[in-house]
Structure 1
Amino acid sequence: MDLRKARMIYNRLKTEMHNAYYTKTMVDNLENFRTEASTHLLGPGLYQYQSFLEICQNLEGKGVIGWDKLGTLKDLVQTTSGGETHLLEMINKAENDIQGLSGNIQQTRVVVPVQDTPEDTVSGPAGNFHKTNSSALPYNDIQIIGKYDLDKYVGLIQITGRLEDSGTGFRVGEKYLMTAYHVFKRTIDQVWERAIQKVKHSQRKGELYREIESLFNISEDEITPLNIKPKKQPLPFGKLFEQFRRQDNGINVEVFETLLKESISVKFGFKDGKPTAGEFHFEYDIPFADADHDVLVLQISEGENTLPPPLPLEEEFVTSSVHLFGYPQGFMKLLSDIKCSIYVDNNELQKDVTKAIEWWKGEGHSFENHYAVCRYADDKRYTDTGKMFLQTSKQFEHNSSGSPVVAIINDRPVVQLMYLRGYPEFCYSKENSLPPPPPQYLFEAGVAMPVVTQLLRECCPNIMGK
């Protein structure tokens, strides 16, 4: 049988079913489908807002439905309030078309999914699109997670205005917030560009250029308005703005007030859409930034509210069984992905990456280069820039950067990684036109805290404290 054609027939069937009877406007049909699916996914849970196609992808990841399991799909549509007969006819037709391929003698390689043995296919929680490990959680971990009220440690970052965006950050040290550098990259680039433009038009630009060289550890020929790529260093914009004010007639810095303070905030402890544990802004001086490792540490401005407590950071060895907490897509509610697994062994990572590449080849695509980053450096547990890989739920695909990945160690949550992005990157783009691969062929990356803490102790020890 030509498996590629079988999958094409199956994918076309799902699209036709979605367009005919499972659109967002057909609420009853979607709700009934979710109810039936919940028998396989341990309740509607996190996928209650997902589309028909996304729920199908979840079921496929569990091995419940597929091109060769259309009988189960028939069972799931039996309760459709409108169009049941037509839906069954559509499935029967696809089933007949696939059976008709059995006479085709073309050999197609069968790609074994990541879960090689029955023990690896234990059902996880609903909405668990990518990961394939068991989500059984020790009761002690549940108690500790509840006790710590993590929404008071983990905040929603909101950037308003023309550069509107969102992300997640978490408290570290005495008065700092850690997040992904790329969450703020556009803002930092804009501040830098406007600052250099102001210097260029200053009557004392030579003096200011020397000041920038000293403050930002950059040579004069590298000072351009296009962008800045920080390398394990502070970004002391506040000190630069002080120099602006001291110039003859003063250089106006109000535009930076808007870019760096008024339009950026972090909020903690959401309840009914309101931050009950405080809303905070940031100082101009950025204590630490590194584009390669994708790490940014901001200093929180003092205000009326008491700062939420910091989370402890892992400084030695990352553990494999972890939990992800964040504000994906800017939701004003802390969401969790319980019991993710980090790849701590490069051989295991490469085995699964190879399967992913082979699957894409079966679909007619050569994407080795897109997976090239998913490899640890020789004799290390990380990439050259401190990244480690894991698999998380689909719900965390967008605007989750900066989320802490924690493990329960000595009865407290300890940050193991900071969540950054997924690979292949095109699969996470909202402009991607290709059908998504099976969930086990997607890999998410986070930067390891032992790497980050070492960088901070070397470059900015005041952040880490004693």
Structure 2
Amino acid sequence: MLEKEGKPKKASTYPFSKRASQKDALTSHIKAEVTRSVGLIYVDGQPEGTGFRVGEKYIMTCLHVIKKIIMGPLDFISCERVYIQFGRMLHLQNTDQSKIFQFEPSVVYKHEGFDVAVLELKKGEIDFPPPLTLFSADCLPSEEVHLIGHPGGVQMKEDSDVYLNVIEPNNDVDKYIKELSEWSIDYFMNNEDYYSGLRELPRKILFHTTFDKGSSGSPGILIRNHKPCVVLIVAGGVPSVYYEDGIYVEPEKRVEFGYALRDVYDEMQTNEINKKISSEIFKEWIS
């Protein structure tokens, strides 16, 4: 029930014992390739979230990452207040101007429900980093997902051994979230159910991860046919008082969520303008 498989087991009593943790070197190579397409988004000079390259000239991220710089009903951003940095691999790292890219002022696509935004990079003398071009519409409960992003707004990190879940009537996940809702109402002084939003549409994909604030907009990657396929975008976690206010909540009571990119694609298909953009972004679906 939303437990991360493969988490460390208690060490045995004999010296040098360790859990079985071998990984194919090919998997590490594939994830390293993905890092070239993932960047840290800054707003007003401060790290705000993660974004990743899609299409010929776009960045996909969470809408809440850039929402405070969207101006007026025509969805323009204060583009002088935002930029994305690629290749941030060290906590303390000299700024490489060739890895920093600005944005055009118009928001190409946004959706409040899915908390998704697509921005256009401003063309310059330096080529854009490569886009992620393969996507997956499904993910088996037993399939390992790799999150790659900038939790904490610092160097790029990855969290593997992540497994996806959805709430369905009376399944184990449904029962687990009901228990957490009851705990929330009983535990917090404002008697708020911080988990109720997980049941609201559009559909949320639930998981546990070590990623925290700053990872919004990170891609979740499956490896299919030895290739990276994006299956979801990381959006947030509950209870919000832990992620936003720093109130301690035990790890087993935290639930992170995101949105399936197939759901985002289907929504974009309902509008002719967005349909054209979606065809540029979602190049190929792999089962």
Give your verdict on TM over 0.5: yes
Question: Superposed, which structure 2 residues align to 1:428-443 within 5 Å?
Answer: 428-430=243-245, 432=247, 435-436=248-249, 438-443=250-255
Residue equivalent to 2:12: none
1:184 lines up with 2:39 in the alignment: no
Residue equivalent to 1:123: 8
Contact 1:357 1:366 in 2 (8 A): no
Residue equivalent to 1:52: none
Query: In 2 relative to 1, CA 343–399 (structure 1 residues): closer, same or farther, beyond 3 Å?
Result: same
1:354 lines up with 2:178 in the alignment: yes
Query: In 2 relative to 1, CA 428–410 (structure 1 residues): closer, same or farther, beyond 3 Å?
Result: same
Alignment partner of 2:109 out of 288, 291, 313? 288
Amino acid at match of 1:352: Y
Q: CA deviation at 1:155?
A: 0.6
Contact 1:135 1:339 in 2 (8 A): no
Question: Superposed, which structure 2 residues align to 1:208-227 within 5 Å?
Answer: 216=74
Q: Which has the larger share of helix?
A: 1
Contact 1:123 1:135 in 2 (8 A): no
Greater RCO between the two (CA within 8 Å, min separation 6)? 2
Residue equivalent to 1:374: 198
Q: CA deviation at 1:453?
A: 1.7
Contact 1:420 1:445 in 2 (8 A): yes
Query: In 2 relative to 1, CA 430–275 (structure 1 residues): closer, same or farther, beyond 3 Å?
Result: farther
Q: CA deviation at 1:317?
A: 1.5
Amino acid at match of 1:180: C
Q: CA deviation at 1:299?
A: 0.7
Distance (whole Å) between structure 2 residues aligned to residue 290 and residue 135 of structure 1: 42
Q: Secondary structure at the match of 1:370?
A: coil
1:143 lines up with 2:23 in the alignment: no
Distance (whole Å) between structure 2 residues aligned to residue 366 and residue 352 of structure 1: 22
Q: Percent identity?
A: 30
Q: Secondary structure at the match of 1:369?
A: coil
Residue equivalent to 1:389: 206
Distance (whole Å) between structure 2 residues aligned to residue 184 and residue 306 of structure 1: 23
Distance (whole Å) between structure 2 residues aligned to residue 343 and residue 137 of structure 1: 25
Contact 1:327 1:399 in 2 (8 A): yes
Contact 1:406 1:414 in 2 (8 A): yes
Residue equivalent to 2:225: 410
Q: Which has the larger share of strand?
A: 2
Question: Superposed, which structure 2 residues align to 1:190-205 within 5 Å?
Answer: 191-192=71-72
Q: CA deviation at 1:135?
A: 9.2
1:142-189 superposed Cα distances (whole Å, 9 cap, x missing partner)? 23223x1x331001111126xx5511000011110000001111111x
Distance (whole Å) between structure 1 residues aligned to residue 120 and residue 256 of structure 2: 28
Q: Could you list the runs of 5+ residues in structure 2 that have no partner in the other structure?
A: 10-18
Query: In 2 relative to 1, CA 410–344 (structure 1 residues): closer, same or farther, beyond 3 Å?
Result: farther
Distance (whole Å) between structure 1 residues aligned to residue 181 and residue 39 of structure 2: 36
1:399-429 superposed Cα distances (whole Å, 9 cap, x missing partner)? 2211111111121111111111111212222
1:230-283 superposed Cα distances (whole Å, 9 cap, x missing partner)? xxxxx3x4xxxxxxxxxxxxxxxxxxxxx6222211111235343476211111
1:103-156 superposed Cα distances (whole Å, 9 cap, x missing partner)? xxxxxxxxxx976xxx968517xxxxxxxxx9946414223223x1x3310011
Q: Could you list the runs of 5+ residues in structure 1 that have no partner in the other structure?
A: 1-112, 125-133, 193-211, 217-234, 238-258, 376-382
Question: Superposed, which structure 2 residues align to 1:24-103 within 5 Å?
Answer: none
Q: Bigger radius of gyration, 1 or 2?
A: 1
Q: Could you state the TM-score of these two structures normalised by the residue count of structure 2?
A: 0.79
Query: In 2 relative to 1, CA 456–120 (structure 1 residues): closer, same or farther, beyond 3 Å?
Result: closer
Amino acid at match of 2:128: L
Q: CA deviation at 1:298?
A: 0.4
Alignment length (residue pairs): 261
Q: Secondary structure at the match of 1:287?
A: strand
Query: In 2 relative to 1, CA 411–277 (structure 1 residues): closer, same or farther, beyond 3 Å?
Result: farther
Distance (whole Å) between structure 2 residues aligned to residue 397 and residue 322 of structure 1: 16
